[in-house]
Amino acid sequence: MRKPIIRLENVWKTYSLGEAKVNALQGLDLEIFPGEFVAVQGPSGSGKSTAVNMIGSLDYPSRGKVYLNGRDITSFSESDLAQLRGQTIGFVFQSFNLLPTLSAIDNVALPMMFQGVSRQKQLSTAREILVRVGLGHRLDNRPGQLSGGEQQRVAIARAMANNPEMILADEPTGNLDSSTGKAIIELLKEVNKEKKTIVMVTHDVKLSREADRTIYLKDGKAVKRL
């Protein structure tokens, strides 16, 4: 049987707002398997952002378990978790999150630096990935010299830098026009064909239809799986 890359088991996340307690997640269960293209969808306030943090191992649950490649991350120190996360998951954000003072190639090389990769290998790998995403002619350009679609391609290239098993894309087309957004989705689908697992968080029903299946959240729970 296939083993999931990510498994959330009865996950609760509770925040304190003064004396009040707010449950952003309420017993969330889900599994994501190797090679899938999964959309996580839901309205504002459904718990999508908190679910992203759990799926991406960016935060610890208040209750329940989160397993990354079968390992219970709730028992990990932050430094050990950061190392495992960096090897397993690449992140793509709506706002790109590129460093404005660095060139495209240096933005892509950055995650490799944190994994102890040599500078020569960083640059050769970053160059190769940028060529693959159609930006071989933009290696030395900074984010401010790139269009929104080009910046998102750099962000996807950066997510691929450490050859992760899974790419987590949080509203990856949210700041793009429809035609550019479609091109980004096609790029993610191409990456998925290379056996990479893609988890795309979106509020857009049309985008979720591009995925193999959709996990629909409401009030911090998975209420529907399509």
Q: Which of the four pLDDT bands, split at 50, 70 and 90, describes residue 49? A: confident
Q: Is 20 left (phi over 0), alpha (psi -120 to 50) or beta?
A: beta
User: Is residue 44 very low, low, confident or very high in pLDDT (cuts 50, 70, 90)?
Assistant: confident
Reply yes or no on whether the pLDDT at 133 is more than 80.
yes
For position 158, what pLDDT does the model report?
96
In this prediction, what percent of the chain has a pLDDT beyond 70?
98
Class (C level, CATH) for 6-225: alpha beta
Q: What is the pTM of this model?
A: 0.90
Q: Which residues are CB-neighbours of 222 under 8 A, at least 6 positions away?
A: 28, 29, 30, 215, 216
**Spans of all domains in the chain:** 6-225
Q: How far apart are CA 153 and CA 16, in angstroms?
A: 37
* Span 17-30, pLDDT tens digits: 888 899 999 999 99
Say yes or no to pLDDT of 84 above 90: no
pLDDT in tens, 174-224: 888 888 989 999 999 999 998 999 999 988 888 889 999 999 999 999 886
What average pLDDT score do residues 113-132 get?
Answer: 94
**139-156 pLDDT, tens digit each:** 999 999 999 999 999 999
pLDDT at residue 226 greater than cutoff 60? no
197 token code pair: 């697992």
Cβ atoms of residues 219 and 26 within 8 Å: yes
Per-residue confidence (pLDDT) for residue 83, from 0 to 100: 86
What does the alpha-carbon distance between residue 47 and residue 29 come to, in Å, rounded to a whole number? 13
pLDDT averaged over the chain?
92
Mean pLDDT of 80-96: 89
CB-side exposure of 200: number of CA atoms within 13 Å?
33
